[in-house]
Structure 1
Amino acid sequence: MAASLLKTEETIAAIATALGSGGIGIVRISGPTAERILRRLFVPHRSQAVWQSHRLCYGKVVDRSSAVLDEAMAVLMRAPHSYTCEDVAEIQSHGSWPVLQAILAEVLAAGARPAEPGEFTKRAFLAGRIDLTRAEAVADLIEARTAASAKLAAEHLQGALYERISAVRDALVELLAQVEVAIDFPDDAAEILESGHLLDLLRTRAAQPLQRLLALAEQGRVFREGIKAVIAGRPNVGKSSLLNALLREERALVADLPGTTRDTIEELISVRGIPVHLVDTAGIRDHADAVEGLGIERARRKVEQADLVLLVLDASQELTASDRELLRSLAGKKRILVLNKLDAAAPDMLERISREFAEETQVRTAAKSGGGIEALLDAIQQAALGKGGAMEERLACAPNLRHKLILEKTLAACAQVEATLLAGEPADLLAVDLQTALDHLADIVGLTTPDDVLDAVFSKFCIGK
C-alpha cells in the first residue's frame, strides 16, 4: 500500500457518533500527538493511573481553564494496534451534542485539526491495514438500511470480495509466470503456449469467476441502494390502503371520497432484506381541481422516476378506460398489477381481468384486511432481484459500480489474452495483455488506484469514520 502518502505529522480529530442526543458520544483522535492531547484534556479518577494501551480509564474531561466539561471514559490505542495504525485516543462522554462539540474544540485547540470525511478509514487504507474493498465496505455498513444490506457490507469488510479478486489475480500471475518462461526459453515457447492447460486455466480460474462476480453486481446494488416502488392508479382503487398494509401502520388517510390523497407519501420499508422506497401517489384522473391537479402531475413524475410501479386496479368493478390508459403509459416500465378489493370482487369479474392481462405479473390483494400482502412482497422481491441466484451467494459477494466497471475491463483483457493464445501470437504480446488484466484488478483493491479515485471513494464517508 501507499503508506508513504500518509501525512503522519498531522493529528486529526472528529466526533465519531451521529448528530443528536444519546447515552454515549465519542470524540476520536488519531496521529502522533493523540496521547499528548489525551493527557492534556483527560484527568483520571485515580491520580496514579498509568495509561495502558487498549484499557478504558474513568475520569473527567477538562478545558484549558481546568473547568470540568463532563465525566467520561477514555481509551488510548497505541500504534500500530489501532484502526488507523497510528496512536488513537477516544473520549467517551455523555452523548450531548454541545458537550461533544466543547470537547472537540478543546482537542483542536490542543493541536489537532478537523478530520475530513472518511479520513480515519483512509489512513487505515494508506497504512496497509485494509484494502480498498474493505474500506468501501465500512461506508456501506454505516449506510446499511436493512439486515441484508448490513450483512453484505459485513461480508465485504471481512474480505469476501478481496478473496475472490485475489484468487483471480493468483491465476493470472500463474499464467504470466508461464508466459515469462516461454519468453526466456524461446525454443520451448511453442510447446508452452500451445498447451491446453493455459487456456483452461484462463477460462476456469479467471474468466468464469469474473463473469460470476459481474452477474451479482446489479443484485448487490439493489441490496445497497434499494429500489423506488411507486403505488399508482386511478382514485379510490385502494392505493393508500395498500401503503398502510405494506407499512403495517395507518400512515395514509383512507376515505371513500375520490381525491383524498393530493400529495405523495414516501416511506422506507424492508422487503425480504431489500430497502424499498415506497411512494403513495394521488389518484390519476383527467378531471380534478387545481390542488388535486398538482398532486396528479407529481404522481406522473414519480411514476417516470420509479424502478417499479405497483399499478392498483379495483377488482370489484369493471375496468375503465383510465385503467387501460394507465397501463399503456407504463410501457417499458417494470410493473406489478395489484388486483385489489379481492374481498368484494365477483369471481367471474376477477377472472376476466386476469385473462385480459394474462401476460402481466399479477397479485390479488384485499389491502384493508391485509390479504395477499405476503404474495405482493414476494412479487416485489422477484421484480427487484430477477430470477435465479442463491441468497447466500448473492450476499457473500456483490461488487459495487466501481468494481463492476473495473471487472468488465479485466474480463475484456482476459478475452484478449484468449484471442492472442488461439491466434498463436508471440509470448511477449500475451504478457502485455495479462499485465493489463492484473493492473485492472490492482485498481479494485487499491494497489494502483489514482488519487482522484481515492478522494471520490472516501468523500462519501461521514466525518468521524
Structure 2
Amino acid sequence: MRVKDEDTIAAISTPLGEGGIGIVRISGEKSFDIARRIFSPKSEIKNIKSRYLYLGQIIDPEEGYPIDEVLTAFFKAPNTYTREDMVEINCHGGMTAQRKILELTIRYGARVAEPGEFTKRAFLNGRIDLSQAEAVIDVIRSKTDRALVLANRQLAGGFSEKINSIRRDLLEIMAHIEANIDFPEDDIPETDPEIIKSEIIKSKGKIEELIKNTGSSKILREGISTLILGRTNVGKSSLLNALLREERAIVTDVPGTTRDIIEEYINIKGIPVKVIDTAGIRETSDLVEKIGVERAKRYLKEAEMVLLIMDASMEITDEDRNIFEMVKDKFTIGVINKVDLPAKIDEKEVKRLLPGKKVIKISALKEQGIEELKNEIYNSIVEQIGPIDENTIIAGQRQKQALEAARNSLERAMESMKVKMPVEIIEIDIREAWEKLGEITGDTVSDDIINAIFENFCIGK
C-alpha cells in the first residue's frame, strides 16, 4: 500500500519553546531538493550519504542571510521512518529559528504536515501496521517505565503478531469451508464439523485471553484517578507532598488553605497514579473556599479511587461522618494521619463506618507509613484489574471493541453450529471475526477510522 498523496510534508517535530535542540522534519520526494535550497554545508557535499549528519547553515535564499547553524541528516527511501526520502534539520531550540526554517521549507515546495502524518505515511507505505502506529502514541505518552516497556513491545509488533496468528487460523477454516462450497465435485475431503468447532473454540479462547490482558490498558495509559478527600486540616496536602516527596502543596495550620484542585502523577511500581488534592470538605461562608469544596465534590463523582484521610489526634466529627457517607460506594482506602500525635480517634468507629475497606495509619509529616500506603494502593489496583506482566496489552477503546466484536462473532458461529445451520451461514460469522481483527492491524479498516486515529497524534510525528 502506497501513499496516494505525493505532497512533500514538513513540520517541527520537537515541542515549541526554548531548548537546546529543535528538529524540523521533511518527508516526500522533494525533501532533498528543498533541503539543498536552504542548507549550506560547511564543506562541499559531492554525494549525499544517507543517515549522516552534515554541519552547515540554513540560509534564506531570497534575503541571503543565515537563519541558524544546524546539523542536517538526509535519509534515503525506503530505509526511513516513512519509507520516503526524509530530511531532519537539527537547529537550536528557539521558537523563531524553528519557525523560520519551517517557513522556508514551505516556500520551496513542502506543505505543513497534518497531525500524525509522518506515522500515517509509515502505515500507508507498509512499514508498520495500525496497531504499531497506535503504539507510537503510547510510547510518547507513557507515564511510567513499565508502560513504556509494554508500549515498545507493541511497537515492535508483539500484539500484531498475536492478532495475525488468529486471523491466519480463521482464514484456514474459511478456506476449507469455501472449497467445499465452491468445488463440491472435486476430491476435497468434507470439513468435519467437529474440527471447525474445535478451531473456533481455540481462536475464541485466544481472543478472550487478549481481552483479559487489556484490562489495565486505561490505567497504564491515563493513570488511575485518586482523590485525597477529608475535612479541613487533616493533612491532605501533607499527604500529597509525602507521596510526591516534594513540597508541591502549601501546608499551614490554618483551615481551608487549599482552595483549588492540585493534580500530580506518581509512579507506584509501574502504575501511574494521578493524585488529586482537594479543598477540605466543610460548611463555609468563604466564597472562594466554597467553590473549592464544590469542585472537590464534583471530582469525587469521577474519581476511581479515594484516599479518605482522618486526623488521629481528634475524635471523629459529624463532618467526618458526612464524608464517610459520601464515599460508601467508592473504591476507598482509609488513611489515619498524624499518628505521631497522642491518639484520640476511635479506630473501631472508623472500621464500622468504612466496612470492608482497608485502613492505613500514617504520619505524613514524619513520612511514616507512606510506603505501606503505596503498597496498599498498588495491591488494591491489581485486585481490580489483574496483574500487570509481560502479557499485558496497552489497547485503546477501538482495539478492545474490535476484539470483543470478533469474540461475539465466533460465539454466534458456535451457536449456529449447535442448531446445525448451513456452513455458509457459519462462515459469515467467522469472516466477520476475521475482519474485526483486521481492523486492529489496519488490514480491513476504513479510511475514516484511519484518519480519526491519526488526528490524535501530535504534529511532527
Same fold (TM over 0.5): yes
- Scaled by the length of structure 1, the TM-score of the pair is 0.93
Of 421, 432, 437, the match for 2:433: 437
List per-residue Cα deviations over 1:139-185 (Å, max 9, x = no partner).
12112222222222211111121011111112211221232243246
2:398 equivalent to 1:402 = yes
Q: Secondary structure at the residue paired with 1:244?
A: helix
- Give the letter for the 1:455 counterpart: N
SS of alignment partner, residue 89 of structure 1: strand
Instruction: Decide which of 104, 107, 110 is 1:106's aligned counterpart.
Output: 104
8 A contact 1:417–1:434 mirrored in 2: yes
Confirm or deny: 8 A CA contact 1:194 1:424 kept in the other structure. no
Q: 1:146 to 1:178 in 2, by over 3 A?
A: same
What residue number does 2:324 align with? 327
Mapped partners of 2:344, 2:200: distance in 1: 58
1:407–1:213 CA distance, 2 compared to 1 (3 A): same
Alignment of 1:10-409 (within 5 A): 10-64=7-61, 65-184=63-182, 192-195=191-194, 197-204=195-202, 206-344=203-341, 346=343, 349-354=346-351, 357-387=354-384, 389-395=386-392, 397-409=393-405
Secondary structure in 1 matching 2:167:
helix
RMSD over aligned Cα, in angstroms? 2.2
Q: Could you tell me how far apart the structure 1 residues matched to 2:246 and 2:425 are?
A: 64
**How far off its partner does 1:198 sit?**
2.5
Q: CA–CA distance in 1 between the matches of 2:110 and 2:309?
A: 58
Shift of 1:425: 1.9
Instruction: Determine if contact 2:362/2:369 at 8 Å carries over to the other structure.
Output: yes
Deviation at 1:358, TM superposition (A): 4.3
Residue of 446, 454, 461 corresponding to 2:442? 446
Whether the 8 Å CA contact 1:133–1:161 is kept in 2: the answer is yes
Post-superposition offset of 1:287: 4.0
Residue 415 of structure 1, aligned match among 408, 411, 416: 411
TM-score by length of 2: 0.94
Give % identity.
Answer: 41
Cα deviation digits, residues 269-315 of structure 1 (max 9, x gap): 22222222221111111244333222212221121221211111123
Mapped contact 2:313–2:338 kept (Cα < 8 A): yes
Contact 2:312 2:344 in 1 (8 A): no
Contact 2:315 2:344 in 1 (8 A): no
Counterpart-to-counterpart distance in 2, 1:440 and 1:137: 19
* Matched residue SS, 1:218: coil
Partner Cα distance (1:60, 1:348) in 2? 70
C-alpha distance after superposition, 1:220-253 (max 9, x if no partner):
1110111221111111211111111111112222
The letter for the 1-side match of 2:210 is L
Alpha-carbon shift at residue 219 of structure 1 (Å): 0.3
Give the drift of 1:347: 9.1
Residue deviations 1:316-343 (CA, integer Å, cap 9, x gap): 3321222122111123222211122222
Query: Amino acid of the residue matched to residue 203 of structure 1?
Result: I
Question: Where do 5+ consecutive residues of structure 2 fail to align?
Answer: none
Contact 1:193/1:427 (<8 A) preserved: no
* Residues 285, 49 of structure 1: alpha-carbon distance in 2 compared, 3 angstrom cutoff: same
Q: Which has the higher helix share?
A: 1
CA distance in 2, matches of 1:385, 1:456: 32
State the AA in 1 paired with 2:407: L
Return 371-380 or 99-108, whichever deviates more. Answer: 371-380
Cα deviation for residue 218 of structure 1 reads 3.3
Report the Cα distance in structure 1 between the residues aligned to 2:128 and 2:431, rounded to whole angstroms. 24
- Measured in 1, the distance between the counterparts of 2:183 and 2:360 equals 67
Cα offset, 1:50, TM superposition: 2.2
Which portions of structure 1, spanning 4 or more consecutive aligned residues, are displaced by more than 4 angstroms?
184-191
> Which residue identity lines up with residue 170 of structure 1 in the other structure?
R
Q: CA deviation at 1:387?
A: 4.7
Shift of 1:99: 0.8
Q: 1:79 to 1:190 in 2, by over 3 A?
A: closer
Q: 2:459 aligns with which of 448, 460, 463?
A: 463
Aligned residues of 2:266 and 2:273 also touching (Cα < 8 A): yes
Which sections of structure 1, spanning at least 5 residues, go unmatched? Answer: none
> Residue type matched to 2:99 in 1?
Q
Distance 1:416 1:173, change over 3 A: same
Q: Which amino acid aligns with 1:176?
A: M
3-state SS of the aligned residue for 1:35?
helix
Matched pairs, number: 459
Question: Match of 1:393, as an amino acid?
Answer: E
* Deviates further, 284-293 or 84-93: 284-293
Q: In structure 2, what is the Cα distance between the partners aligned to 1:202 and 1:330?
A: 45
